[in-house]
A and B are shown apart, each in its own frame.
Chain A
């Protein structure tokens, strides 16, 4: 199962959970499962356009980026820039 690391605001919204084990094969599945497990997190995942860092590489707006069984996943705010 992939390890999803929650920190800061997201950790608060997930009831204090810092590390979540989730069996998801891609980003879309991961977001759905997180929203189901933590309803308070759901609107923020939808509203903030989160980027996903999978094993250190940041993916933005990519639903089908693969997540390995031992991947470390971080949810971070999407970066835009100027």
Chain B
């Protein structure tokens, strides 16, 4: 646990925090020096490839790898037996609770294949061509089974059951018949019937969303090297090298100390690189071949076999009085989990009505397995899906009572002291400030033309803390090497080194930030949950204060004065007692460190608590072409509470990126399957994410309501920006066309159908 609350720091004059210096990783990235997952090479390196299921659901009767093993140039062939089978139980993996039985079966199918693209076997060979030929020589005998990919069909009593041992939890009594419904969750309080009875207006609608992929440009990639004595190294693109180590060590039966994992530069993750796919396979192949093995997914494999987020079926009902007070809110969420349980329905249910202060509220959610790839986290997991439906209904209620949608939200906005629908009271939050900023923004008053519409939506995300370490190593010239254990996926090397420099009182360019491997620091939870600038920032500040205490102590010894008479100001130890003024800079103290006690290293190892939620409000203008159904985003403004923007350009970048991913989710992106459960669009040509020419400049407004539990007031900002876009765009398209849109994506054929059927 940490106790880093320092409100005085928020108020002090800041020299570096809040400025916009050049990013420390920028030069490497624009010159091509940055090493991503597929850029690592070792002598005698083999190429690994995976054989994947052509079926959505089938029993594996047998696998014959003998012909592949006999092929010249093949050095290793593995099936599921290369990984330890695991019991079905949720056990801690760092800060996560995971079911290793599911993980090992997702990495490599055992009894059954559960989706097209499910890994069945893997080979390592001297070249990619030989590896590909070897895959073609593996003979798998399947018994094809009926499959189900639709969430509502999967919930039917006669649906094909994916797991014979799955009995719905969260209901009493526990069912005696297995089903695809893994879990039921419910949140809420109050009296819904009484609340709806008070309402003058009630709006109730059903919605659907499709699974969408995180769309990271860099595919999954890794390089494993296991020596004859079992010592292993792994380089991979990941959001959490410590989580990769935990997962792989468990699946391969290794001690974690035997496996050193280094995170490469990462070409996008967005939650999708918080799990393992290739990494255990590459280690198993390398262990068998006693040679390094490199594996890189193709784009098709990324779509077929790595986790998108859930598709969902949703129902939302909201009642309100004519004067704009919400009296009751109810929702039912059914989320696809993919082939194994664990959809984000739980956080989705908790987020759904979180922007509002409600007396009567209920959200019920179902986690449902289907024959699709297991879902993985995607920015604010579960939140965007639920809030798309809620924000659409909120907009419709405002329309029915003839109230401005921003005013309606303001009248019902959650604020400090509001009881969240999931139970606890909220601390200081900035939703009201984002709504007021939206109402005051020139965008909100700009005129619209024919076939154009404006939408507004708000969004909530919790943000988290977690286990975090940081180390500041003071060099003999006074420069500082800062080591953190959270991969930089959104500019954290900049924000963390800025906080270190601010604390130490030294120029930013004197701090070099390094992402440490798993042997260089204690356990770090992954980069996710919008936690890094908050948690690693807290650890860096604590490590810097550790350095400062050591510097004061060294100066006191040099001057032969009490340490209480030494203060740290602007990178200098200063004598504050009676007598002549004395001062020693950090560089001067570092130069004599050997004589005053040895090297100076500041450390912090914490479980960061006190993360504050971030809320946002987005405005969007669209134009709908009535001839084609195409929707053009004309103008977009994202407004968000960042607590304190350490590096405002990076905060704006997060807001812009979330908005653009939301635009893709709203307008184009979806997985399309044929009748056999085979994915028809596993590539960026047919699965269309937005490109620069599809979107206008995303305008941003940063609101700062400091989080009192962080030394600089930081809130995580990476996830909230993807929560409002779908609701905002759906509202805008609905206003432009006069038709309420309830199904995503609002692609041209769907929009045209809706217009034509008016």
Residues of A participating in the B interface, judged by any CB pair closer than 8 Å: 5, 7-9, 12-13, 40, 44, 46-49, 53, 55-62, 64-65, 72, 74-82
Contact = CB atoms under 8 A, between A and B. Distances in A.
A26 to B, nearest CB: 10
A5 to B, nearest CB: 6
B269 to A, nearest CB: 8
Given A56-B426, A82-B271, A77 B350 contact: yes
Nearest to A40: B172
A7 B420 CA distance: 12
A40 B271 CA distance: 33
B464 A82 contact: no
A64 to B, nearest CB: 7
Per DSSP, chain B at the interface is loop
Contacts of A72: 424-425
B550 to A, nearest CB: 28
B703 interface: no
Contact of A81 (B90, B422, B461): B461
B321 interface: no
Interface residues of B, number: 54
Given A74-B423, A80-B347, 14 more contacts: A7-B187, A46-B90, A49-B96, A53-B423, A57-B609, A60-B465, A60-B607, A77-B346, A79-B464, A79-B529, A80-B381, A81-B347, A82-B272, A82-B381
Per DSSP, chain A at the interface is mixed
15 contacts: A9-B170, A12-B171, A44-B170, A56-B424, A56-B425, A58-B609, A60-B464, A60-B465, A61-B607, A76-B350, A76-B424, A80-B95, A80-B377, A81-B464, A81-B530
A7 B172 contact: no
B184 A74 contact: no
B531 interface: yes
B427 interface: yes
Nearest to B362: A8
Given A58-B462, A80-B528, A8 B97 contact: no
Contact of A8 (B172, B187, B377, B607): B187
Interface string B413-431: 0000000001111110000
B132 interface: no
Interface string B229-267: 000000000000000000000000000000000000000
Nearest to B526: A80
B516 interface: no
Contacts, number: 123
B610 to A, nearest CB: 6
Interface of B: 1, 89-90, 92, 95-97, 169-172, 184-189, 214, 270-272, 274, 346-347, 350, 376-381, 422-427, 461-467, 528-531, 607, 609-611, 709, 719
B422 A82 contact: no
Nearest 7 A/B pairs, CB to CB:
A82-B271, A81-B529, A82-B377, A53-B424, A8-B186, A74-B423, A49-B97
A53 B609 CA distance: 11
Contacts of A46: 90
Contacts of A56: 424-427
A69 to B, nearest CB: 18
Contacts of A62: 1, 607, 609
Contacts of A7: 186-189, 423
A3 to B, nearest CB: 12
B426 A13 contact: no
Contact of B92 (A8, A40, A49, A76): A49
Give the residue among B169, B184, B271, B719 with the most A Cβ atoms within 10 A. B169
Contact of B610 (A12, A13, A49, A57): A57
A74 B380 CA distance: 22
Contacts of A74: 422-424
A55 B96 CA distance: 24
Contact of B169 (A8, A44, A80, A81): A44
A57 B95 CA distance: 18
Contact of A60 (B188, B189, B377, B609): B609
B335 to A, nearest CB: 14
A48 B97 contact: yes
B424 A81 contact: no
Contacts of B466: 60-61
Given A7-B187, A9-B170, A77-B350, A58 B424 contact: yes
Give the residue among A44, A56, A65 with the most B Cβ atoms within 10 A. A56
A20 B529 CA distance: 31
Contacts of A60: 95, 464-466, 607, 609
A82 B186 contact: no
Contact of B90 (A5, A12, A47): A47
Contacts of B171: 12
Given A60-B464, A76-B423, A77-B346, A82 B719 contact: yes
